[in-house]
Each structure stands twice: as C-alpha cells, then as structure tokens.
Amino acid sequence: MTSFRVGLLGATGAVGQKFIKILENHPWFQITALGASKRSAGKPYAEAANWIESTPMPESVKQLKVLECKSELFKDVDFVFSGLDSSVATDIEGDFAKAGIPVISNAKNYRTDPTVPLLIPEVNPDHIDLIHEQRFTKDGSGWIVTNPNCVAVPLTTSLKPLHDAFGISSLVVTSMQAISGAGYPGVPSLDIMGNVIPYIGGEESKIRQEPLKLLGTLSKGAVKYADFPIEATATRVPVINGHLLSITVGLKMKADLDEIRDAMNNWKSPIHELDLPSAPEFPLKVHTDPRYPQPRLHADSEGGMQTAVGRIRQAHVMDVSYIAMAHNTVRGAAGGAILNAELLVRKGFLK
C-alpha cells in the first residue's frame, strides 16, 4: 500500500488534535503539513496548539511549523483533511480544491452542495461518485468530500436499517450534545457546569437536512433526497465526549419490536469486506440493558467509531423510540473523515 502525505487544516483545534492523535500510527496516512490561522502560523505546532488530548502530543508533529492555510504552501501533500472553522472553510477549502488538492472536510460549508458527497461509508458509499460532477479543476484532480454533522452520524447510521427494511415516514429527535462538540475553548464553564443549555445555534437545521441527503439515492449524477419530515431539538449537556440522542420514528410499514431489533442486528455494512483500517467491526451495536448506551461507558467503543443503540421500545406516538449515541469528535468528526479517506483510497479516488 502506498503511503500518503497528508496536510491538516485547522490542526490546532479540537477536531484537528483528534486527527493528529488518530493518525499517529495510521498505516496509510502520514501528516506532513499543518495549517491554522495567522495567529498560529509560523510557530512550531507544540507552541501553537493548546493540546487537550489525554495522550501525549506525537513527537512527529511537535516541531512541524504551522502554515497559513494557503494552497501554494501545501504543494507537497497528496490531499488535506480539514477541521477548519466554518467561518473560513468555504474560501480555504475551495482554494485547495481549485489548486488540485483533494479536501476531506468536517466543516458544514459544502455538505449540501449538490456535487459534493456527504458521506458515511457504511450508509451511502455509492455517493462517492458525485465527485465526478465537481468542476473545481478541469482535469478533476481537485475535489471536496464531507462528513456529516456529529448528530447526523449516529442518527443516520441507526436509521439506515429501518429505512431499508420498513421505510421512514417521520422522525423526532432530541440531542444531548457533549461540550467537546463546541470546539476549544467552547462553552464557558459557568454556563454548562450543573446545567443543560436548550439551544445550539445552527445545529437543528443540519440535523433536519443531512439525514435526508445521506439516505437519498444517487441517480444520473444527483442525489434524490429521502422524503420525510424531521423535528429536531439540540441541547448541550455537561458531558465531555459522546452525543446521546432520543429518537422517535414513524415507519411506512408496520413492524414489531423483534423485527426492528432484527433489522438493526442483522444489518450488514456495505463496506464490511473492504478491510479499511479504521472501520469498526460492528458499526451499529444494539444494547439490551436498558441503562445503556451511556457516553462515559460507550463513547470509546471500537476506538470511538461505533454507533450504540439502546432502549428500543414501542412508541405511544408514531412507531418506535430508541436511544443512539456516538463519539462526536471521533465518529462524528476526525475518525469519520479518516474512514472516508480510506474508502476514497480503496475506490481509487486517492492514489
């Protein structure tokens, strides 16, 4: 397997640091360039980043000089991961794609672009072919692939078996989102300690839109969105990692609880056979203990790449209710983007 030289934009942020931690021993990808804002540029990474991971900063990045996020400074990389703030991601990611440098992004900016794949490899790997519709460069060398919002990931992964087996007619979801989802320094401690904040700006519209693109079908170079209404309430809770969701679903075909559990338990990921280094053995785990899943106990399952489901029960309104949970900065951000890159390698888009 070829080794890829990888650039990382937004390297100093919460998601950027998670990329560095996960990629430390990656068999295919080696970080060779780091980018952040002008505030950090010019400094060695060890000085620029306020390291918040629980494992030591890898030696391989400590002395790398942080660069401004300009494509001409990243000529020697094969592609970049982006953990950029959304206020700057449109211009910077577009500049890289136009310069022929593929971008695998966490930011929201291009997720709803009709030519950009919004990807969960276990849910919609075929959407990768949307890349052929992009026109950043004449020769197709520059393109953008995105991973979804950190709530949309466990939500859509858990909905996928139900959507395939029974069809979804409606959905109500309330998220209890960890503070690491707000980046660093994020939410002031006086706001969140011993408290719940019943509003996260901009979050609910992403939760309403992204599952419909992810569950949509690709035909003739376009995604036809799934068509069901979603009601979403996003809240912030004093949990460090792991977004927990309370979900109620209406189904097009009636199904009893055994059939619903079977659909989730028997669901086979379409990328199972591809042997991708970051792919979890079980992307969807159904817990039967009604106390589970819990962020503190289960956010790190399978390296943080698993979506955990529990409390599947008959709903008194609509059809079925359950809880879903996943690690927001791993499965919902850096780890998800790395899995996207691995799929892009296997499918020949990165070589």
Q: Does 240 bind ligand NAP (CB under 6 A)?
A: no
Phi and psi, residue 81, nearest 5°: -95, 145
Determine whether 26 is an active site residue. no
Residue 178 token pair:
């960890």
Which CB atom, from 42 or from 221, has the smaller least distance to ligand NAP? 42
**CA pair distance 39, 36, nearest whole angstrom:** 8
Q: Does 10 bind ligand NAP (CB under 6 A)?
A: yes
Least distance in Å: CB of 338 to ligand NAP? 13
Q: Which one from 127, 243, 298, 327 is the annotated catalytic residue?
A: 243
Binding mask 313-332 for ligand NAP (x = CB under 6 A): ---------------xx--x
Q: Does 211 bind ligand NAP (CB under 6 A)?
A: no
Which CB atom, from 43 or from 252, has the smaller least distance to ligand NAP? 43
Q: Does 293 bind ligand NAP (CB under 6 A)?
A: no
Which CB atom, from 20 or from 249, has the smaller least distance to ligand NAP? 20
Q: Does 245 bind ligand NAP (CB under 6 A)?
A: no
Determine whether 287 is an active site residue. no
Which CB atom, from 110 or from 166, has the smaller least distance to ligand NAP? 110
* Contact set with ligand NAP (CB under 6 A): 10-16, 36-37, 39-40, 69, 83-86, 88-89, 106-108, 150, 180-181, 183-184, 328-329, 332-333
Catalytic positions, written as ranges: 150, 243
